Amino acid sequence: MDADQGGTVHVEEIFNALQVAVVDVLARMAMTEAVFVHREKLPRFRLDQEAGGMVRLTGSQEGMIGITSPLGVVREIVSRIVSLPADQLTGEDLMDGIAELANMIGGGTKSNAGLTNVKVSTPMAMVGKELLAEWKTDRHTERFVFQVDDGVLYVLAAL
Amino acid sequence: MKLLTIDDSRTIRRVISGIGAMLGYEVLEAENGEAGLKVLEQFAHEVGLVLLDWNMPGMIGLDVLKAIKADRRWQHIPVMMVTTEGEKDYIVKSIQAGACHYQTKPFTQEEMATRIMEAMGMGGV
Amino acid sequence: MRVLIVDDSSVMRKIVSRGLRQAGFKVDDILEAGDGQEAMGILTADSNFQLILSDWNMPVMDGLNFVKSVRGSGGPAKSIPIVMVTTEGGESKVQAAIEAGANGHIKKPFTPDTLKATLGQFMK
C-alpha cells in the first residue's frame, strides 16, 4: 500500500463521496431512489422508534459513518433488497439489513473518496426506544437527510 | 449444481439465494468461514461456485479463500469474492490467492446474475 | 429472426437475451413481456416471431395459461413455437405444457450450449 495516500483527502470530498455512496447503494440493492434533501450539524442524536447502523473508520481518516431511519422505512428498504414482503421480515432481519446498508455505504464512501489507508469496521446495528446514542468523538457530526420513497433516511458522519 | 454463499449478513445471503434461485441454482448458506468449510466437507462434489464475503467475524474471507485453495478436496471449486472493498490491493490479493471473480457490494441483481453466469462458465463479458 | 421472451423478472429476460446471442443465434430483434397477458397483447398486434420463450411462474397469466391462450387463439400467432423455461423439479409441469401445445423446454440453469441444443431446431 502507498503510504499516507488516503490522509490528504479533504473532509468535504469525503462527504461528497458519502452522498454518492448512499444514492448508489439504494439504487443498486433496493432499486429505489434516495434524494438528497439537506444537511445539518448535529451534536448528538436520539433513536426513538428508529433503527440505526454504523461503521467506524480507522487509519488515515478516523471517524464514524451511520444511518438512522424510522423502522417502517427500514422495513420497506430491507423488503426491497431481499425481495420479500415487508410483513415477513423479523426484527433480526431489519437489524441485519440496516447494518449491511451502513456497511455498504461506509465501504462505498471509502472507495469513492479513495481512502486507501482507511479500514472500515464490521457494522453494528441498534434499534431504539428512547435510546440516547452519542458518538464517542470530538468531531462534529454532520447529518445528511435523504428522501427514500415516502420516508426519510438520515445519514450521519463524524469525521 | 449448487452455489455456496459465505457471508455474515443474512441480508446478503438472502439476496444471493434469490438471484441463484432465479437462475435455477440451489444456494447453500453459511454465516462464517468455519461454517462454510463445514458445508464444503459435506457438499464439495455438488458446489459449483463459492461466493465469499471479505469482512467477517472470525476467519476473514481471504483466509477462507486460502483454506479452500489449500485443500485438494475442493480447491477446484471457483471462488468469487463479494465485498465492499473495491481497492486494487484487495482484488490483487484475492486473485493471487486463487479467486476467479471479484464482485463489489452494492450490486444490482443483473450484475450479480451476470457475474454468476460468467463464473459458472456461461458466456463471457 | 425475431424472438419474444416472456418472464416476470426483467433480469431473467436480459439473461435469456444474452444467452441467445452467446449461443450464436442470429437474432435480429428480441421483444419482452412481463407476463402471459402482456405477451398476448404483443402477439395480437404483431405475430412476426419465430420463437417464444416463456417462464412458468408469472403473475396475472402464468406460462401454462399463456400456452393455452396462444394455441387457442385464432390469429396468426397460433403456430409460433413456444419453449418453456423451467427450474428443476418441473417435470410434471413440462408434461402439462407440452400437452397444452408447447414445443419444448429448457431447464435452468442453462448454458449457451444448452440453448443451442434445445433451440437449434427452431432457429433456422
pLDDT at A27: 95
User: Which chains touch C (3+ CB pairs under 8 A)?
Assistant: B
Q: Is residue C35 part of a domain?
A: yes
How many CA atoms lie within 13 Å of B35's alpha carbon, on the beta-carbon side?
A: 14
User: In this structure, what C-alpha cell is assigned to residue C39?
Assistant: 405477451
Q: How confident is the model at residue A2 (pLDDT cuts 50, 70, 90)?
A: very low
Query: Which residues contact residue A88 at a Cβ distance below 8 angstroms, ignoring those fewer than 6 apart?
Result: none
Q: Which residues of C touch B113 (CB under 8 A)?
A: 11-12, 15
In this complex, how many residue pairs, one in chain A and one in chain B, have their CB atoms less than 8 Å apart? 63
Domain boundaries, position C29: 2-119
Q: Does C15 sit within 8 Å of B120, measured CB to CB?
A: no
Q: Please write down the long-range contacts of C24-29, taking CB distance under 8 Å and 24 or more positions apart.
A: C24/C112, C24/C116, C25/C1, C25/C115, C25/C116, C25/C119, C25/C123, C26/C1, C26/C123, C27/C1, C27/C2, C27/C3, C28/C1, C28/C2, C29/C2, C29/C3
Which of B23, B109, B110 faces C109 most closely, judged by CB atoms?
Answer: B23
Selecting from B23, B110, B123 the residue whose C-beta is nearest the C-beta of C108 gives: B23
CB atoms B55 and A120 under 8 Å: yes
The per-residue pLDDT string of chain B (125 residues; one tens digit each, 9 = 90 and over) reads 899 999 999 999 999 999 999 999 999 999 999 999 999 999 999 999 999 999 998 999 999 999 999 999 999 999 999 999 888 889 999 999 999 999 999 999 999 999 998 898 765 33
Q: Which of B26, B110, B122 is facing C112, going by the closest CB pair?
A: B122
The backbone torsions φ and ψ at residue B110, rounded to the nearest 5 degrees and listed phi first, read -65, -40
Q: How close does chain B come to A75, measured CA to CA in Å?
A: 12
Instruction: Give the three cell numbers for residue A93.
Output: 432481519
**What are C12-59's pLDDT values in tens digits?**
998 899 888 888 888 889 999 999 999 999 999 999 999 999 999 889
Spatial separation of the C-alpha atoms in residues A15 and C113, rounded to whole Å: 48
CATH for C81: 3.40.50.2300
Q: Which of the two residues, B65 and A159, has the higher pLDDT score?
A: B65
Residue C124 placed within a domain: no
Q: Closest partner residue to A100 among B12, B85, B86, by Cβ? A: B12
User: C22 with C111: CB under 8 angstroms?
Assistant: no
Q: Identify the pLDDT of residue A54.
A: 93
pLDDT cut 70: percent of chain A above it? 86
What residues of B are in the A interface, CB distance below 8 Å? Answer: 8-12, 14-15, 18, 55-57, 83-87, 89, 104-108, 111
pLDDT at C123: 76
- Write out pLDDT tens, residues A20-79: 999 999 999 999 999 999 999 887 767 777 889 999 999 999 999 999 999 999 999 999
Domain architecture of chain B: domains with CATH = 2-116 (3.40.50.2300)
Residues of chain C positioned with their CB less than 8 A from the CB of B120: 109, 111
Residue in this structure with the C-alpha cell 440516547, named with its chain if needed: A132
How far, rounded to the nearest angstrom, does the alpha carbon of residue A133 sit from its chain's CA centroid? Answer: 15
Cβ distance of C109 and B123 shorter than 8 Å: no
- Beta-carbon separation of C109 and B120 below 8 A: yes
Residue A3 has pLDDT above 70, yes or no: no
pLDDT at C22: 85
Helix (H), strand (E) at residue B9: none
Q: Distances in Å between the alpha carbon of C124 and those of A135, B15, C15?
A: 67, 38, 22
Q: What's the pLDDT tens digit per position in C67-107? A: 999 999 888 899 999 999 988 667 788 888 899 999 999 98
What domain count does chain C have?
Answer: 1
> How far apart, in whole angstroms, are the C-alpha atoms of residue B98 and residue B101?
9
- 8 Å CB contact of B122 and C12: no
Would you kindly state where each structural domain of chain A is located, as residue ranges? 5-158
Give A144's Cβ-side CA count (13 Å radius).
Answer: 24
DSSP string, A109-155: HHHHHT-TTEEEPPPEEEEESSEEE----SSPEEEEEEEETTEEEEE
Sheet holding B79-83, edge to edge: B26-30, B2-6, B47-52, B79-83, B101-104
Comparing CB atoms, the residue among C9, C10, C87 nearest residue B24 is C87
- Omega into C109 within 30° of 0, i.e. cis? yes
Using CA atoms, how far residue C108 sits from A149, B24, C87, C115, in Å, is 34, 5, 5, 10
Interface of A with B (CB under 8 A): 1, 24-25, 28-29, 31, 78, 81-84, 92-93, 96-97, 99-100, 103-104, 106-108, 110-111, 116, 120, 122
Q: How close does chain B come to A150, measured CA to CA in Å?
A: 22
Closest CA to B82 of B99, B102, B96: B102
With CB atoms and an 8 Å threshold, state whether B55 touches A82. Answer: no
* Nearest-5° Cα angle at C55, C51 to C59: 125
Closest CA of chain B from C55, distance in Å: 11
What pLDDT shows up at residue A43? 74
Q: How far is B40 from chain A (nearest CA, A)?
A: 25
**What homologous superfamily does CATH list for A5-158?**
CheC-like (3.40.1550.10)
